[in-house]
Chains A and B, each alone.
Chain A
Amino acid sequence: MPNKFRLLMPILGTMAALAMPIAGLAEGAKPIYYWISHGSPTDPVWTYFLQGAEQWGKDMGADVRTSFHSGDVPSQQEAVRAAISAKARGIVTSTPDPGSLTKVIAEAHAAGIPVVIMNTEDKTSGRDAYVGGDNVAIGRRWAQYLVDHNFVKKGDFVWMPVEVPGATYQVLETQGIDSVFKPLGITYEITEAKLDQAEIISRMSDYLTANKSKIKAIIGLGDLVTGSIKRVFDQVGVKAGEIPVVGWGNSLETAQEVLDGYVNAAMWQDPQATSYMALSLASMIAGGIPPGFDISVGTLYEKDKAGTYLKIMQGAKEHK
């Protein structure tokens, strides 16, 4: 029977070996912070967010424990509760669904742990502070941009691709867009593009091919879809600027597309800064200074400023 252990041991040994160095970091008197994202680790913008969190941990000498939950509410709630059990000094998280964090935030507060929400807001959750963009306002700005520049008028149709329909940011952005378009009689359709780059391009190309004549403007409701516009246009045979595009601009691809004229205006949400500021706020609250404010981030940039953001993102990439 000891044979059985002979096989089991190397497996467990490997596990233990993997666990050692990681756990080693956690030792000592470093304060522990949890940075819990509802995003997907394969979404490029979240890697910028993650960098901000790691940077903050390094600068402050704190142990920042990070996890991604890809919109899976139960697993994210569990992570927040794990942070409470681990007696974290502060928790920074993002909202997967409105209302889904209310209960766990109350539990964190009961344990004396501040919770700062970043990136996706949930006002009624009881969070201590919010750092990020206002998605409704962002949606409104995109829609208004298209209207103000006379790209769309009454009776026009706008295509709004998104990676995964139903995500909070999309829901809120759509609300903002709707508040501008509806009174003007502009119609729109949201389509699912998925999270895989190849699939996004193929789905978007298919849709664009079928509806090219009808589409008067495009709003990219996510980073991946907006960053795919050039490749989709090239594939379908649409020239840069032929169809006006606005959308998210947190990727190198989108910044380049703005420079090249494929995208008219893109929204930069300062991901590293968002994480950094959120953790700072959490640390400040834990230290006893109450925040009477939220921190609002996000800029709509056009061709003239695209270079700046391109550089920031390239810098971040080299940094890695």
Chain B
Amino acid sequence: MSDELVRMERINKFFGRVQALSDVTLAVRRKEIVGLLGDNGAGKSTLIKILSGALRADTGDIYLRGNRVDIRNTTDAMAYGIETIYQDSALVTELSIARNVFLGREPVKNPRWLNRLDQRLMSEVARESLRKAGITKEIPPTTPISALSGGERQAVAIARAMHFESDLIILDEPTNNLGVEETKGVLRFVRSARDSGHSCIFIAHNIYHVFQVVDRIIILRRGKKVADDIDPKRTTIEAVEELITGLEINKGV
């Protein structure tokens, strides 16, 4: 287990009386792309929000490289190298691409007390990481997010996650509302994340997308983990669908 990056153990989460998660355990290895599947309301978002610091678990532990950690908020999570990309990408639309990429972690020039943004560095890095995230069109890093398409916005969020060398990038339904080409871009990124040394948790509605890019599939149903070790190369989409809905469990898994 030496190559295990993150382990969430026996996570429980209640919203009032609703138990969103019960005793869920999940592990992600280094350079592993994990697909997290489940019907609407199965608890996928809740689970990864706990990992990214947006929510706190009622009970359960989180381990990072074997050490128990306490993730109290999103800042903690980012400090531990966990980046999350949501469907609406959480960008500030009034600000430029460069300013969004570095939001909250702005590089400051010397002397530091002047608190001066290193705008040149920000622009260079933003341009570079946009290209890495699969944007071939030349977009100046000073362009405000409000002028970008949905896919381009997602690419900015991805570029941000990549630049900060996060060990784990979580994508919660990143392809919703995206066009065909833009979706391809996101999938290409997920596939390449492994090669650049990142681990990924990928949540998507479209099972075909998940099948195309992940190493392993985990399935949640009504807050419980029902499958943990599905290899997309050796199982069928139908089988996975049955697991998700819980209607008929195929023995071939």
A–B touch (CB < 8 A): the answer is no
